[in-house]
Structure 1
Amino acid sequence: MVLEPIHCPDCAGIEVIKHGTTAAGKQRYRCQNSDCERSTFIQEYSYAAYGSQVKHQISEMAINGSGIRDTARVLGISTTTVMETLKKSPRLRAVNEAVLAALEPTQTMVRLCLADDCEVEAEVAEMWSFVQSKTQQRWLWWAIDHTTGHVLAYVLADHKDKAFLELKALLEPFGIMQFYSDGWGAYERHIPPVFHTVGKRNTQQIERKHLTLRTRIKRLARKTICFSKSIVMHDAVIGLFINRIAFGLSI
Structure 2
Amino acid sequence: MSAKAPTCPNCGSQHTVKNGSIHNQKPKYQCQNCKRQFIENPTNKVISKDTIELIDRLLYELIPLAGIARAALVSETWLQKYVNNKYTQIPQKVKVSEKPKGKLTIECDEAWSFVASKNNKKWIWLALDKKTREIVGVYIGDHSEDGARGLWNSLPPVYRQCAVCYTDFWADYTQVIPHKRHQAVGKESGKTNHIERFNSTLRQRIARLVRKTLSFSKKLNNHIGAIWYFIHHYNSCCSA
The normalised TM-score by structure 1 is 0.69
Match of 1:146 in 2: 130
State yes or no: 1:217 paired with 2:206: yes
Deviation at 1:97, TM superposition (A): 2.8
State yes or no: 1:53 paired with 2:42: no
Distance 1:193 1:98 in 2: 25
Match of 1:103 in 2: 99
1:58 and 1:86 in contact (8 A); partners too: no
Distance 1:194 1:98 in 2: 25
Match of 1:193 in 2: 179
State yes or no: 1:227 paired with 2:223: no
Distance 1:61 1:217 in 2: 10
> What pairs up with 1:1-251 in 2 under 5 angstroms?
47-49=45-47, 51-89=48-86, 91-99=89-97, 102-104=98-100, 113=101, 118-174=102-158, 175-199=161-185, 200=187, 201=189, 202-248=191-237
Deviation at 1:198, TM superposition (A): 0.9
> In the TM superposition, what whole-angstrom CA distance separates every residue of 1:69-104 from its partner, at most 9, and x where no partner exists?
1111111111122122222227523343342xx234
SS in 2 for 1:97: coil
> In the TM superposition, what whole-angstrom CA distance separates every residue of 1:204-240 from its partner, at most 9, and x where no partner exists?
0000001111111111111222211111221121111
1:218 and 1:226 in contact (8 A); partners too: yes
- Gapped runs of 5+ residues in structure 1? 1-45, 105-112
CA distance change for structure 1 residues 191 and 85 in 2, over 3 Å: closer, same or farther?
Answer: same
Structure 2 residue identity aligned to 1:180: Y
Distance 2:168 2:129 in 1: 16
Moved over 6 A (4+): none
Structure 2 residue identity aligned to 1:92: I
- Gapped runs of 5+ residues in structure 2? 1-43
Deviation at 1:168, TM superposition (A): 1.0
2:137 and 2:152 in contact (8 A); partners too: no
Distance 1:93 1:143 in 2: 17
1:153 and 1:171 in contact (8 A); partners too: yes
C-alpha RMSD of the superposition = 2.2
1:125 and 1:181 in contact (8 A); partners too: yes
CA distance change for structure 1 residues 158 and 52 in 2, over 3 Å: closer, same or farther?
Answer: farther
SS in 2 for 1:180: strand
Match of 2:35 in 1: none
SS in 2 for 1:80: helix
Deviation at 1:185, TM superposition (A): 1.6
CA distance change for structure 1 residues 185 and 193 in 2, over 3 Å: closer, same or farther?
Answer: same
